[in-house]
Amino acid sequence: MLKVGLTGGIGCGKSTAVRRFRELGVPVIEADLIAREVVAIGQPALDEIATLFGHQALQGDGSLNRSWLRQTVFGDSLRLQQLESILHPRIRTEILNRMAACTHSAYVIVDVPLLFEKDYTQLFDRILVIDCLPDQQRTRVQVRDGSDDTVITSIMQSQIEREARLQRANDIISNTSSITDFYEKINEINNRYVKFSEA
């Protein structure tokens, strides 16, 4: 079975691509969902975070205090590293387990927003990048989230540069035109991946 890592810059259309792949019957694993599950109440990662960061890391109901934690690690590379050393090994293991369970399909898509930044490349046979122009990214995120330009710029700067992302991709889908055009390109790559898998 072919293992495909899906990534792209903020606002490039990853969520739309994921939705389309699902409509085509392709199993999709989302790293962001797994990241939430591994810190749910009762999970060992949550206890480790509370031990490391103190009781402020938890809310009154015992769940993770995400906003406090985000502010605590923002701009503090050591604290961020400590947090990631708790999360990423668990996320990797869970991705591997879920990919192994997708035996009924020609290929599986794993949506990893920070695929290059957190070095998930070795888990996959192919890397698929969803791409659009930087101006389109800004406009789409503003429309979607109402974020201001400063926030969008800081998010874009925290991600790998567009050129580097494109250079490291095996496959690229350009999402610069209409939704119809985007869906056609996804349909084409779906057919190609099925053929790859059969070969």
Question: Which superfamily does 31-101 belong to?
Answer: P-loop containing nucleotide triphosphate hydrolases (3.40.50.300)
Structure tokens at 84: 């990631």
Please tell me the predicted confidence (pLDDT) of residue 199: 81
pTM of the model: 0.90
Show binding-site residues for ATP. 11-16
Please tell me the predicted confidence (pLDDT) of residue 145: 81
CATH architecture of 1-27+106-199: 3-Layer(aba) Sandwich (3.40)
Please tell me the predicted confidence (pLDDT) of residue 159: 84
Boundaries of every domain in the chain: 1-27+106-199, 31-101
Percent of all residues in the chain with a pLDDT value above 70, rounded to a whole number:
100
Q: Which residues of the chain have pLDDT under 70?
A: none
Tell me if domain 1-27+106-199 and domain 31-101 are identical in fold. yes
Residues 161, 131 contacting (CB under 8 angstroms): no
Please tell me the predicted confidence (pLDDT) of residue 74: 78
Please tell me the predicted confidence (pLDDT) of residue 30: 97
Taking alpha carbons only, the member of 64, 70, 69, 68 closest to residue 47 is 64
Q: How far apart are CA 37 and CA 182, in angstroms?
A: 31
Please tell me the predicted confidence (pLDDT) of residue 198: 86
Residues forming a β-bridge with 173: 130
Show binding-site residues. 11-16
